Every structure is written in structure tokens, then in C-alpha cells.
Amino acid sequence: MIALAPDQFGILHALAAPMAEVHGSVAAVIAGTAEGGIWVDAFDAPNVAVLEGPEGTYLLGTSLDPAAAAEIADLLDDWVYLHVDPRLVSAAPAALPNAFMVGHPRLLFRLAPCAEGAPVPSGLTLVTDADGIGQTLMDGAHELGHCRPDLIVGDRIEIGVWVHPDHRRQDLARLLVARVLDAAKAAGMTNVGWHCHASNRGSIALARRFALGPPVETLAYSASLPAENVGDLTARQCRKLAEHFDAGASQIGWLAFHAACAWALVPDPERALSAVDRLVDGEWQGEPDWLAGHWAMADLRHTPRFEAALARLRMQKAPPG
């Protein structure tokens, strides 16, 4: 694969057009408004390319021969989050950097402001970010949530929302999204995108309140859970993923992290804690907060065995002396 210089990114306009239409990150890198890198199989007439952008890595193209697939697999990190061009879905598995990546079905919604009112609850304050679009909801000095642009390119924007777990299911996400959509419209943004996992029922329900039409289905691959919340996946799906990542951990040690997450969601605490112990007592380079703060680990956090594993990990990370 040949690395392009930034002033050469324009040669990818035609090849990348279908993915750039769906993923603003692709359009932004090619336009030079976001940092990224591009590799192609041939400079004069590329058939396939890898693009790294602010929102992930993208496999683009019309065809993928075995030689190019092997080069791409070598180029990509094992932990990559790889969005796949619809034209390459059948060929993409040959380009994956490890055999334990799983498909992540995803959705793209196009959003627009609606007439539905969203008053700020009494006692809370909505603060507009410096970009004039993002919104942060405050309770005094405490942030309860925010909705902000993930990227902006031309009159196009993609947004995401976060609400503190203790304050969810109170319509605060709807409030934040509604205000950001109003601000985006006022700023001349005519194309607002919302990406989410196809398993994320909460995100989908929120997006549908502002959606212009049905979502576009997309696909990514990652050696991680295709979910973001407890309850997104069934117990059967979690068990299958746990067994898959357990098998992979014998070759790629950090996959025990994702095995632990999946076992915790089954739930099978014993197997989850066994995976945590294998991870911590191996050569994992992760941080204690990655374990303690992961949403899938919520029911394990205060168990003695989990706390002991975290203590060992902190000792490993402590500076000498």
C-alpha cells in the first residue's frame, strides 16, 4: 500500500464518494479540514484505499485482490475500528488484521430540527459551547450532559450526545439534541448526521424523533463488543462473543478484556472475573480506569475479586520507588 501526501488526497475523490456521502470523517480528511492519512493500492488508478480519520478507519474501494488484502491486513492495527465500503463487504474479511474481529452493524440517520418543544428543567443551565453549536447542560458546577459536533466539514455536521448515567431517562438527551439542531440550522448546517450501533435502541429511538427518513445501514469490524449499553445484546449474543474473545485471548492477550465484558453481560461473573485475572496477570498494557470505568463491568466493580485485580494492576502501573 502506498501512503499519500496530504496534497495528493484529492485523487481519491471519485473512489471515496460513496463512503464520503455516509461518513463525514472521510469527506473531511480528503478535503483537508481534518487530520488523517490515506494509503492506496496504486497511485494512478487506485481500486482500494485505507483512510484514517477522526472518527475511525475506513476501507474504501470497488475491488480487493488477495495481494492488496494481505497488505491492508499488515497495515492495520489489531485494535482498529474499521468501517467498510458497501462495495467491499464480501471481500473485507480477507483484509482484517486478526481473525477475531466481529461485524458491527451500524446506522446513519439524517436529522433536522422539529417543532417539538424542549424546555430546560428548572434549576439547570444550558451553556452554548465556543463553537456556537455544541450545548452543555449544567447543574451548578456539575455537568449533566452535552451534545457536540463530532466533526464539521462545509455545511455538514455529525453530532453525538452524552448524559450522565444518573440522569438518563429524563428527556435531557432530547433537549440537548434539539438545541444543537437549532444551533446547527442557524449556522447554515444543512446536513446533520447521527451514527450509532444497530444494537443501541436508546440512540435509535432518540434519532427517530428528529430523523428525516429511514437510516442508512453500514458495517464496521472490530475486536470488541458491537454495543454501548447494558441490554443492547441478548444473553445468547453475549455468550457467543465471550467464547469468541476467550478463544482469541490465547493468541492476542488483550482480547481477554472483551471476553470479560461479554461474560459480565451474560451474566457469568465467575468467567468474567477469570478473564479479568488473566488480563491483569498477563502483559496487558491497559490502564486501571479502562477496566473500572467500562460500562459492561458495572456489576463487577465492587466485588472483592475485581477490586483485588484492580489493585494488582495499579501496583504494576505505579512508578518505581
In tens, the pLDDT along 232-288 reads 999 999 999 999 999 999 999 999 999 999 999 999 999 999 999 999 999 899 999
Residues with Cβ < 8 Å from 214, sequence gap 6 or more? none
**DSSP string covering 242-301:** HHHHHHHHTTSTTHHHHHHHHHHHTT-HHHHHHHHHHHHHTT----HHHHHT-GGGTTTT
Helices (H), 87-227: 172-186, 201-208
pTM: 0.93
Residue 67: pLDDT over 80? yes
Query: How many beta carbons lie within 10 A of that of residue 105, not counting itself?
Result: 12
CA 228, CA 142: separation in Å to the nearest integer? Answer: 24
H helix intervals, 23-149? 24-31, 66-75
Q: In what order do the strands lie in the sheet with 82-84?
A: 2-3, 37-40, 48-53, 56-61, 82-84, 216-222, 102-111, 191-197, 156-163, 142-153, 135-139, 125-128
Q: Which overall architecture, per CATH, does domain 110-219 show?
A: 3-Layer(aba) Sandwich (3.40)
pLDDT tens across 152-190, in order?
999 999 999 999 989 998 899 999 999 999 999 999 999
At 137, give phi and psi (nearest 5°): -100, 120
Decide if 100 contacts 122 (C-beta within 8 A): no
Q: Is the pLDDT of residue 117 over 70?
A: no
Burial bucket for residue 5 (CB in 10 Å: 0-12, 13-18, 19+): exposed
- Start-to-end Cα distance in the chain: 45
Under a CB-based contact definition with an 8 Å cutoff, are residues 112 and 213 in contact?
Answer: no
